[in-house]
Amino acid sequence: MITGLGQMIPGKEPRILTAKNLLGHPYKPFGRMDYFSKLGFAGIVKAMKDAGRSEWQAKRNIGLIATTRFGCLETDQNYFATVTTDHGMGASPALFAYTLPNCFLGEAAIFLGLTGEGFVINETDPTGITGLSMAMTTLFEDDSMEAMVYGICDTPQISGIKTPKNLFQGALFMVLENKAPYLHTPYGALEFDASGTIIYNQETVSDIVVLAENALKGRKS
Amino acid sequence: MEGRKTLSQRVYITDAAVVTALGSTLEETWHQLMAGRSGICKISRFDTHNYLCDKAAFIQDLVPKSQESMLPTLVERLISQLAPLGQDTLLFTATTKSCIDLIDVPGRGKDMLCSSITRYISQRLNLVDKGINISAACASGTIAIAKAAQAIALGRAQSVLVCSMDLVSEFVFSGFSALRAMSPESAKPFDQNRRGLSLGEGASALVLTGETKLKTEGLRPLAEVAGWGIAGDASHITAPDRKGTGLVQAITKALEDIEKPKIGAINAHGTGTVYNDAMELKAFERIFQNKIPPFNSVKGALGHTLGAGGGIEAALGIKMLQHGMLPPTVGLSVPEPGAESLVSNTPMEFKGKLLSTNSGFGGINAALVLSRGI
């Protein structure tokens, strides 16, 4: 079931993206992150807070999967500018560290103490459904997995790239659990039908953004 | 008891191909590797004057063309070796940086997306599935195999093609140089005097098939994917956990249904960096105590091929199991204390299953257990 939702939408957020705004206190690694990582990190933290799982004592077997279309391409461009400026002499190790799109999952895992599986998916048809299916499958397969955090993350504009109209811009994450011990009112239950199609409240799930909207509506009603 | 639920079918590798700096086929790469040869040499692809080293294991006849990426050419060499695939085959690719050699070509940003090379492969092979790419740094290939195996084992797929690939590019080369993770000379995995990694490039293709399809179509299993595990360190994004906590967890998951003494050898990640190799040794000690199986690293010969590494190593794992031999750890001369009798620069015999491990930035670790085909 979906036990937490968190989103970070650039332009819609009333406050700028700082650790103090997000966490209520300074967090040095946040300042080092590239914009893509900050967005994803914020989405994950918000979802875990919503699920009542942001506080921890011992590291937990919780996994993280994210779908992205453009990933850290903007950071790639920024990093390579530091390479070409001075024939490689000025290559920035700090930026290079974020030229892998899964690094923000590592940052979130460190902050939240999550030791489950973690990887990024690039879908050719970015609805987020393949990743959601993988997250659900892992929960189904492995009883020792406490929860899976799954979502999508993309930065709004990248130099030289035309962004598709239907692309979700920002970060949207959800916490999935087999049981809901931390929350009395989960958003709703996800399940596979016999053909492997994902069903939410008796309806086929074809897009993760629509799923999140429906989940929010369900809780309000 | 908590753990992995009963899986509905076994998972086999029924076709495999690689292209590496040591050879344009799996057979050729295997023979060169067993002969102790290295593909690491002076790189001519870009100016290395301002970097920590001037060497990498690159494919000599993969020549950059103006305005074009080398990756589709590499992929063509790879997929041309495969037997025809059913249209219902799913496609998982694994790459960290895809066509990153286009980064300085104006207007080609879209072609650098990882999904572009996935789509290219799907179209070239006339697959119905458009495919997905899995990106998890240097564990990408292993994780893609693990997720493919999971999908088949749970009956959600009958056949998955897993293609792993990455290039030696100035983008990546400059980055590892800036991080001071590259060895000035060729990498020396598990050597006391190791000084870092050597980069490499290559690609692998593995066709994973479920037991049902295998029997129905009378396919020959090259190896079985008998176990898999993925876990994070949650400690640092560019350095491994000193105690190997995430790797221990990944191996433990991979060994869930397998008795430890049945592991006859380990194909280690073995990058040749001080911290990675020490972490792996620590993890192996924690898992196997004083009964660590013999292990090796192919990265002194093939370089660190990043997202392709896990796939290439799994393909080589088929040969290791068929021959009951671990290839030499090229570059090794004085083994790390505690590993003296376990790692060698000459081939080593083994019996049993093969454990293969990879770790990557973001603190992610992955492990596979392969056993001989029936």
d(CA A62, CA A75): 27
Output the CA torsion sign for B259, B260, B265, B269.
Answer: positive
To the nearest whole angstrom, how far is the Cα of B168 from the nearest Cα of chain A? 15
Is B234 close to A110, i.e. CB distance below 8 A? Answer: yes
Among residues A44, A160, A117, A162, which one has the least CA distance to residue B105? A160
Q: 10 Å Cβ neighbour count for B144? A: 31
| pTM for the full predicted model | 0.97
What one-letter code names the amino acid at B332? Answer: L
Q: Please check whether residue B304 is in contact with residue B215, taking contact to mean a CB–CB distance below 8 angstroms.
A: no
ipTM of the complex: 0.95
| Chain A residue whose CA is closest to B142 | A119
Residue-wise pLDDT tens for chain B (374 aa)? 456 666 789 999 999 999 999 999 999 999 999 999 999 999 999 999 999 999 999 999 998 888 899 999 999 999 999 999 998 899 999 999 999 999 988 888 888 889 999 999 999 999 999 999 999 999 999 999 999 999 999 999 999 999 999 999 999 999 999 999 999 999 999 999 999 999 999 999 999 999 999 999 999 999 999 999 999 999 999 999 999 999 999 999 999 999 999 999 999 999 999 999 999 999 999 999 999 999 999 999 999 999 999 999 999 999 999 999 999 999 999 999 989 999 999 999 999 999 999 999 999 999 999 999 86
Q: Please give the backbone phi and psi of residue B293, each rounded to the nearest 5 degrees, phi first.
A: -70, 165
In this complex, the residue of B51, B178, B363 whose CB is nearest that of residue A96 is: B178
Pairwise CA distance, residues B316 & B18, whole Å? 9
Distances (CA, A) of A66 to A114, A119, B162, B238: 14, 7, 19, 19
Residues 156-175 of B with CB under 8 A from A: 156, 170-171, 174-175
Do B126 and B166 touch, CB atoms closer than 8 A? no
* Shortest CA gap A125–chain B (Å): 8
Residue B15, beta-bridge partner list: B207
Other CB atoms within a 10 A radius of the CB of residue B231 amount to 26
Q: Which residues of A touch B237 (CB under 8 A)?
A: 97, 103, 106-107, 110
Would an 8 Å CB–CB cutoff place B69 in contact with chain A? no
Lowest mean pLDDT among A120-129, A163-172, B245-254, B284-293: A163-172
CA distance B114 to B242: 31
Contacts 24+ apart (CB under 8 A), A207-214: A207/A127, A207/A128, A207/A129, A208/A67, A208/A127, A208/A128, A208/A129, A208/A131, A208/A132, A208/A151, A208/A152, A208/A172, A208/A174, A209/A128, A209/A152, A209/A168, A209/A172, A211/A132, A211/A174, A212/A5, A212/A7, A212/A172, A212/A174, A214/A188
- Which residues 6+ apart lie within 8 Å of B6 measured at CB? none
Amino acid (1-letter code) at residue B110: K
Reported residue count of chain B is 374
Please work out, in degrees rounded to the nearest 5, the angle formed at the alpha carbon of residue A38 by the alpha carbons of A37 and A41: 80
Residue A52: band (very low, low, confident or very high) from pLDDT cuts 50, 70, 90? very high
- Mutation site for A-interface testing, chosen from B52, B135, B257 by largest number of A Cβ within 10 Å: B135
Look at residue B1 in the predicted model and tell me its pLDDT: 44
Q: What is the pLDDT of residues B231-280, one digit of tens each?
A: 999 999 999 999 999 999 999 999 999 999 999 999 999 999 999 999 99
In whole angstroms, what is the distance from residue B293 CA to residue B299 CA? 19
Interface membership of B99 toward A (CB under 8 Å): no
CB atoms within 10 A of CB B184: 12
Contact B301/B216 with Cβ under 8 angstroms? no
Tell me if B363 and A106 make a contact (CB, 8 A cut-off): yes
As a whole number of angstroms, the distance between CA B228 and CA B314 comes to: 12
Interface residue B131 vs chain A (CB under 8 A): yes
Nearest CB partner across the interface for B131, out of A61, A118, A124: A124
